[in-house]
Structure 1
Amino acid sequence: MIRYAALCLLFLSAPVAAQDMTLPVGSRQLSDRTSPLDSYDLPTGPFADGRVPARAMEGRVERITWRLQAGSSTTLQLLAPLRSQIVAQGFEILFECAARTCGGFDFRFGTEVVPTPDMYVAIQDYRFLSAARDGEALSLLVSRNPPDGYVQMIRVSPVDTVTPPPPLVIEEPVTRSDDLLSGLTQDGHAILADLHFRTGEITLGDGPFASLELLADFLKDNPDMRLALVGNTDDTGGLEANISVSTGRAQAVRARLIEKYGVAADRVEARGIGYLAPITSNATPEGRDLNRRVEAVLLVN
Structure 2
Amino acid sequence: MTMCRLASCALIALLPVPGQAQDLTLPAAARQLSERTSPFASYDLPTGGFADGAVPARRFEGRVERRTFRINGASSTTLQLMAPMRQQLEEAGYDLVFQCEDRGCGGFDFRFETEVVPAPDMHVDIRNYRFLSATRSAEDAISILVSRSGNAAYIQTIRVSSQTTEPADAPAQTAQTGEATADLGQMLQRDGHVVLRDLEFDSGAGTLLPGPHASLKQLATYLQDHPEHRIALVGHTDSTGALATNIDLSRQRASAVRDRLVNQFDVDPARVDSEGMGYLAPIASNLTPEGRDANRRVEAILLSTR
TM-score (normalizing by structure 2): 0.67
Distance 1:249-1:131 versus aligned 2 partners, 3 A rule: same
Distance in 2 between residues matched to 1:124 and 1:258, nearest whole Å: 39
Question: Match of 1:231, as an amino acid?
Answer: G
Report the counterpart of residue 28 of structure 2 in structure 1. 22
Q: Is the 8 A contact 1:227 1:267 kept in 2?
A: yes
- Cα displacement (A) at 1:40: 6.4
Report the counterpart of residue 115 of structure 2 in structure 1. 108
- Cα displacement (A) at 1:233: 0.6
Distance 1:249-1:98 versus aligned 2 partners, 3 A rule: farther
Higher-RCO chain (CA-CA 8 Å, sequence separation at least 6)? 1
Distance in 2 between residues matched to 1:20 and 1:193, nearest whole Å: 25
Partner of residue 141 from structure 2, selected from 119, 138, 141: 138
- Cα displacement (A) at 1:129: 2.7
Distance in 2 between residues matched to 1:193 and 1:186, nearest whole Å: 18
Q: Is the 8 A contact 1:212 1:257 kept in 2?
A: yes
Distance 1:143-1:254 versus aligned 2 partners, 3 A rule: farther
Question: Match of 2:86, as an amino acid?
Answer: R
Q: How well do the aligned residues superpose, as a CA RMSD in angstroms?
A: 4.3
Distance in 2 between residues matched to 1:198 and 1:260, nearest whole Å: 19
Report the counterpart of residue 233 of structure 2 in structure 1. 229
Q: Is the 8 A contact 2:284 2:294 kept in 1?
A: yes
Distance in 2 between residues matched to 1:23 and 1:236, nearest whole Å: 35
- Cα displacement (A) at 1:243: 0.2
Aligned counterparts, 1:6-45, within 5 A: 6-7=16-17, 11-12=21-22, 21-24=27-30, 27=32, 30=35, 42-45=45-48
Partner of residue 281 from structure 1, selected from 281, 285, 288: 285
Distance in 2 between residues matched to 1:92 and 1:50, nearest whole Å: 24
- Cα displacement (A) at 1:247: 0.5
Distance in 1 between residues matched to 2:201 and 2:161, nearest whole Å: 31
Distance 1:80-1:214 versus aligned 2 partners, 3 A rule: farther
Q: Is the 8 A contact 1:136 1:155 kept in 2?
A: yes
Distance in 2 between residues matched to 1:226 and 1:131, nearest whole Å: 45
Distance 1:103-1:216 versus aligned 2 partners, 3 A rule: same
Q: Deviations over 1:111-159 (max 9, x none)?
A: xx8xx9xxx6669889653124687852225489x999663332558x9
Distance in 1 between residues matched to 2:218 and 2:18, nearest whole Å: 32
Distance in 2 between residues matched to 1:57 and 1:86, nearest whole Å: 18
- Cα displacement (A) at 1:44: 1.3
Distance 1:4-1:207 versus aligned 2 partners, 3 A rule: farther
- Cα displacement (A) at 1:186: 1.2
| Count of aligned pairs between the two proteins | 265
Report the counterpart of residue 168 of structure 2 in structure 1. none
Distance 1:149-1:188 versus aligned 2 partners, 3 A rule: farther
Q: Deviations over 1:254-288 (max 9, x none)?
A: 11101110111111111001000001111111111
Partner of residue 290 from structure 1, selected from 286, 289, 294: 294
Distance in 2 between residues matched to 1:143 and 1:281, nearest whole Å: 21
Distance in 1 between residues matched to 2:77 and 2:297, nearest whole Å: 21
Question: Match of 1:202, as an amino acid?
Answer: G
- Cα displacement (A) at 1:68: 3.7
TM-score (normalizing by structure 1): 0.68
Distance in 1 between residues matched to 2:146 and 2:195, nearest whole Å: 16
Distance in 2 between residues matched to 1:20 and 1:254, nearest whole Å: 40
Distance 1:81-1:101 versus aligned 2 partners, 3 A rule: farther
Q: Is the 8 A contact 2:16 2:26 kept in 1?
A: no
SS in 2 for 1:208: coil
Q: For structure 1, which segment, 225-234 or 90-99, has the greater mean C-alpha deviation from structure 2 after superposition?
A: 90-99
Distance in 1 between residues matched to 2:137 and 2:287, nearest whole Å: 45
SS in 1 for 2:108: helix
Task: Point out where structure 2 has 5 or more consecutive residues left out of the alignment.
Answer: 1-12, 165-177
Task: Point out where structure 1 has 5 or more consecutive residues left out of the alignment.
Answer: 160-173
- Cα displacement (A) at 1:42: 3.4
Report the counterpart of residue 152 of structure 1 in structure 2. 157
Aligned counterparts, 1:123-272, within 5 A: 128-132=131-135, 138-142=141-145, 151-155=156-160, 175-272=179-276
SS in 2 for 1:177: helix
